[in-house]
């Protein structure tokens, strides 16, 4: 049984969209940030120094992208999403309204002597969100962790551990309750170890707690 874990080439990598970037007057985009063609930055959003956004991204009102964060192509950051460095978002990722990607495993405002913590007093850790994954509204991803390809995190979930490819996780703390396909719809079991998307007819097989696509 063959599987296709690598991403297939996009047959139409250039959608029919305006290739010019657009930044709302009230947005704050650092001079060293890099925006790909077609990317839109909406009101009150902040893009920090050294951040790199790919092609045709959408950054909603009040969203935040931290210094040095890398964002792939076709990524949507909805209103007030907070992406703290050193997060990495691969292409096709969706981050819902008010979702938070943290970066401090041991957060404190002061050190053990009661003095304000400085940049030298802690080490940022990041969240990696892989190709096509979706993070629901108001979810919190507590770094360090990885969200797998095409996985889906339910609204309001608190994610404390890595999420496998195609997994659907919900709750506090987040737990896996099923699998989803590329369409985002829940997969249905159609065999002892096989699953199918009723919307797209994609098929998958499960092995050792992981899901793999079946080639046509």
Q: How many domains does the chain have?
A: 1
Q: Is residue 155 part of a domain?
A: yes
Q: Is residue 46 part of a domain?
A: yes
Model pLDDT, residue 121: 87
Q: Is residue 115 part of a domain?
A: no
Q: Is residue 45 part of a domain?
A: yes
Residue 172 CB: number of other CB atoms within 10 A?
12
Whose structure tokens read 């098929």?
203
Q: Is residue 195 part of a domain?
A: no
Q: Is residue 117 part of a domain?
A: no
Let me know if 16 is exposed, middle or buried by CB neighbors in 10 A (0-12, 13-18, 19+): exposed
Model pLDDT, residue 32: 96
Q: Which residue stretches of the chain have pLDDT < 50?
A: 1-13, 16-17
Q: How far apart are CA 131 and CA 145, in angstroms?
A: 15
Q: Distances from the Cα of 5 to the Cαs of 41, 49, 148, 195, in angstroms?
A: 32, 34, 11, 15
Q: Is residue 186 part of a domain?
A: no
CATH of the domain at 44: 2.160.10.10
- The domain containing residue 139 runs over which residues? 22-105+122-181
Dig out the tokens for 16 from the structure. 């029919």
pTM of the model: 0.90
Model pLDDT, residue 12: 45
Whose structure tokens read 């609204």?
155
Sequence length of the chain is 216
Let me know if 69 is exposed, middle or buried by CB neighbors in 10 A (0-12, 13-18, 19+): buried
Q: Is residue 131 part of a domain?
A: yes
Model pLDDT, residue 119: 85
Instruction: Name every residue whose Cβ is closer than 8 Å to that of residue 208 and which is 6 or more positions away in sequence.
Output: none
Model pLDDT, residue 18: 57
Dig out the tokens for 99 from the structure. 């979702």
Instruction: Name every residue whose Cβ is closer than 8 Å to that of residue 94 and which is 6 or more positions away in sequence.
Output: 75, 76, 78, 133, 134, 135
Residue 31 CB: number of other CB atoms within 10 A?
5
Sign of CA dihedral 137, 64, 80, 58: negative
């Amino acid at each position: 049984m063959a599987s296709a874990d690598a991403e297939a080439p996009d047959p139409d990598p250039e959608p029919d969209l305006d290739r010019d970037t657009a930044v709302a007057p009230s947005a704050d985009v650092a001079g060293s940030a890099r925006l790909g063609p077609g990317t839109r930055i909406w009101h009150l959003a902040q893009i920090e120094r050294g951040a790199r956004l790919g092609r045709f991204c959408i950054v909603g009102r009040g969203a935040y992208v931290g210094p040095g964060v890398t964002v792939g192509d076709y990524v949507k950051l909805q209103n007030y999403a907070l992406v703290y460095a050193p997060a990495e978002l691969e292409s096709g990722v969706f981050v819902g309204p008010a979702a938070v990607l943290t970066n401090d495993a041991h957060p404190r405002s002061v050190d053990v002597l009661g003095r304000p913590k400085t940049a030298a007093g802690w080490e940022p850790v990041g969240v990696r969100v892989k190709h096509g994954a979706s993070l629901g509204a108001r979810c919190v991803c507590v770094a360090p962790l990885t969200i797998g390809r095409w996985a889906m995190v339910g609204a309001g979930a608190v994610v404390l551990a890595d999420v496998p490819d195609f997994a659907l996780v919900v709750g506090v703390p987040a737990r896996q309750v099923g699998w989803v396909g590329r369409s985002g719809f829940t997969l249905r079991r159609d065999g002892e170890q096989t699953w199918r998307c009723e919307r797209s007819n994609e098929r998958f097989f499960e092995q050792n707690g992981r899901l793999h696509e079946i080639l046509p």
